[in-house]
Each structure stands twice: as structure tokens, then as C-alpha cells.
Structure 1
Amino acid sequence: MKPILSHPVRFADLPQRKPTVVRLVPDAGALEDLADRLGVDAFRKVRLDLELTPGPGRDWTLSGKLGATVVQPCRVTTDPVTTRIEDAVARHYTPDLQTPEGEEVEMDDDTLEPLPSVLDLGEVLEEALALAIPEFPRSKAADDLNMTAAPEGAQPLTDEAIKPFAGLAALRAKMDGDD
């Protein structure tokens, strides 16, 4: 899928001895498209400051900071919840990446990726945003809700009823008091 904000970078065209600094700031139209694609109500601001650093060897390191303000519905009340995102972004690109084989493998470095000839920084922005958006935002009103449920005619479970050892502690205290 093509990124909303395309910003392709060819590593071969970048300076090989010094870092390259890039700032991505989507315009209002791109923010609306990003909100639609990522399933949120709105993005008020999004900014990605990146530095692409060459080396060691033919490797490249991408480091940066993602800043965004996202508005999305509370998962309990559906009230709008505004969240400020400040997140670090890190990738390490290498041409010599050996992909481990097997059903379940452990990766030592989750920032390690194969070196592409062209890297679209818009894709990096979208991926970083998708990972940073809260999955279950909650409004302050959700904390005040009393959410209990029980079948008809039954008492809803309370916190005390869920903790069976609390009852044993009370029984022991009563038994110790009777001695």
C-alpha cells in the first residue's frame, strides 16, 4: 500500500560521510487521510524528525522522534479522547541481513531490517504512528462508570467476592480472637 505522505530516499544518493536530517510534517489533507487509514477520528499534529547516519560498512541507521496529537473515541463511552504521542523511532538497515528460518525464531534486534535501495520515509512515519496510537483510549468519564453484570436474580460479583483469600484472612482473625 502506498503511503499517504510519500518521501522516497535513495541511500546511494545520500552523503556517505555525514548524517542526513529530514523532517516530515503532513499537511491538513494528509492528516485527514492518515486518520482514515489508521482508524482514528483525527490527527491534530504529526511531525517526524529523522537522521539517517551511514555506517558501519554499508549499513545505515535511522533514528528520530515522532510527535503527534491524536483524537479517537473512548472504547467505553465513545467520548473523544485526545492523546499526545512522543515516541522514539529507530531502525538499522543492513545489506547483510540473514533471516532466521523456523516457525518460531527470536530476533536479537527488532530494529534490524534489510537495506532497501529506496526507503520511503512516509512508510516509516505511518508505521511509527500505527504502533504508537493507544489501542484502548479511555476518557475520564469511563473511570467513573459502575460496570457490573449478572444473570437475572443473581448478585453481581464484587471485588471482595473475587478475592477468596480475603475471606480466609477474616476467618483466621475471627478464630484468633476467639482463643
Structure 2
Amino acid sequence: MTDPAPHILRLADLPSRKPTRFALRPDEGARARLAAELGLLGIDRLSFTGALTPKGRSDWTLEAALDARVVQPCVVTAEPVATDLSETVERIYTADMPEPEGDEVEMPEDDRVEALPVTLDLTAVMAEALSLSLPLYPRAPGARFGQIDHAAPGTEALTDETAKPFAGLADLLKKGEDGGGRG
């Protein structure tokens, strides 16, 4: 995609009897902007291809394939970690979605179901699908969490062993039994 503008489809203008196919392949600049928006180091490859298919009189189904190679910082070392992603994306846009009333909003049981929009921004759907498929804790090969001890100068660092809240309880109970606690 050399045009950085989003790919917006007005659903009322689409053919109502056959699928509308789409293929988004953002160029390097668009991938860089999306990477910055998502907090990534980079997006080396990204494609979002599929179709919008009419269902009944007013509903639509989006089925697409997301293919990407993203680069994220390792959660341990901050080294770049490249991850290949391949996801199937499905959204169901329905006109029968109830309007939210009051403070409490009831979510549909099927998380693929959304209210029917007037226009559909395919770039936004692609970005959301990519965001949802990212590894939460990318880790470079061999990266391990270790123990880091922090303490004020001249004091001993608190470790897992010394931080046990009931470690001295047995000694206190023993003193109480021996009568060592009261005079």
C-alpha cells in the first residue's frame, strides 16, 4: 500500500450478493508508523487479505488472514526479538446489536460479533488484529530472569529467604512455651 490513507469501505456501497475481496500490504512508511503506535521496534512484513461477505439483508462477515513479522524488545534484555505471526481473523458485523443502556453494558457471548458500522476501516481492523496477536512477553533466546538484590548502602539486601514473614514464628512460639517470653 503506497497510499497511507486508511482503506475505508462504505458497507451500503458494496455488492450485496457477492464477497468484496481486499488485500492490504502496507509499505515501509506505514509499517513504521504502525510499529511506533504499537510500541514495536519494527514490522518487517505485514499483509491482511480476505473478504467481506454479505449475510442476510444487512449483516456482514469479515474473514481475513493476517501475516506479519514483528520485532519487539525482549522483556529481560531489551534485545530485538523477531516473531512471525499468522492469524485467521473473523468479525461478524450485525445490525441486530442491542444499544447499550445505562452504566452496565452487556457484551455479546461471541467476541467476533460487533455492531454494524456505516463504514469499515480495514486498516484499523488490521491494526487491532495485529495488536491482539502480539506476544505479551517476548524473550530473546537464552534470556532468563535472575535475582536482583537492591539495598541501601550499609544494609543487607532483602532476599526470598529473609523475606519469609513467618520464618521467626517458630522461635517465638518456642520462647513462649519455655516461659522465656514473660518474666
The alignment's TM-score, normalised by the length of structure 2, stands at: 0.75
Match of 1:173 in 2: none
Contact 2:59 2:93 in 1 (8 A): yes
Q: In structure 2, give the amino acid aligned to 1:40.
A: L
Match of 2:115 in 1: 114
Match of 1:53 in 2: 53
Distance in structure 1 (CA, Å) of the matches to 2:94 and 2:157: 64
Distance in structure 2 (CA, Å) of the matches to 1:87 and 1:54: 22
In structure 2, the gaps of 5 or more residues are 165-183
Match of 1:164 in 2: none
Aligned-pair CA distance for 1:105 = 3.3
Q: Which moved more, 1:101-110 or 1:124-133?
A: 101-110
Match of 1:25 in 2: 25
TM alignment of 1:28-47, pairs within 5 A: 28-47=28-47
Contact 2:71 2:83 in 1 (8 A): yes
The alignment's TM-score, normalised by the length of structure 1, stands at: 0.77
SS of residue paired to 2:63? strand
- Percentage identity across aligned positions? 42
In the alignment, does 2:7 pair up with 1:7?
yes
Match of 2:140 in 1: 139
Match of 2:175 in 1: none
Q: In structure 2, give the amino acid aligned to 1:120.
A: D
Distance in structure 2 (CA, Å) of the matches to 1:15 and 1:33: 32
Match of 1:79 in 2: 79
CA deviations 1:65-102 (Å, max 9, x no partner) are 11110001101111110011111111111122114545
Contact 1:77 1:141 in 2 (8 A): no
SS of residue paired to 2:142? helix
In the alignment, does 2:92 pair up with 1:92?
yes
Mark the structure with the bigger radius of gyration: 2
CA deviations 1:121-159 (Å, max 9, x no partner) are 11111111111111211111313x5436487266645xx
Distance in structure 1 (CA, Å) of the matches to 2:112 and 2:25: 23
Q: 1:155 to 1:120 in 2, by over 3 A?
A: closer
In the alignment, does 2:130 pair up with 1:129?
yes
Distance in structure 2 (CA, Å) of the matches to 1:13 and 1:153: 67
Contact 1:5 1:30 in 2 (8 A): no
In structure 1, the gaps of 5 or more residues are 162-179
Distance in structure 2 (CA, Å) of the matches to 1:126 and 1:153: 44
Distance in structure 1 (CA, Å) of the matches to 2:13 and 2:129: 24
Q: In structure 1, give the amino acid aligned to 2:67.
A: G
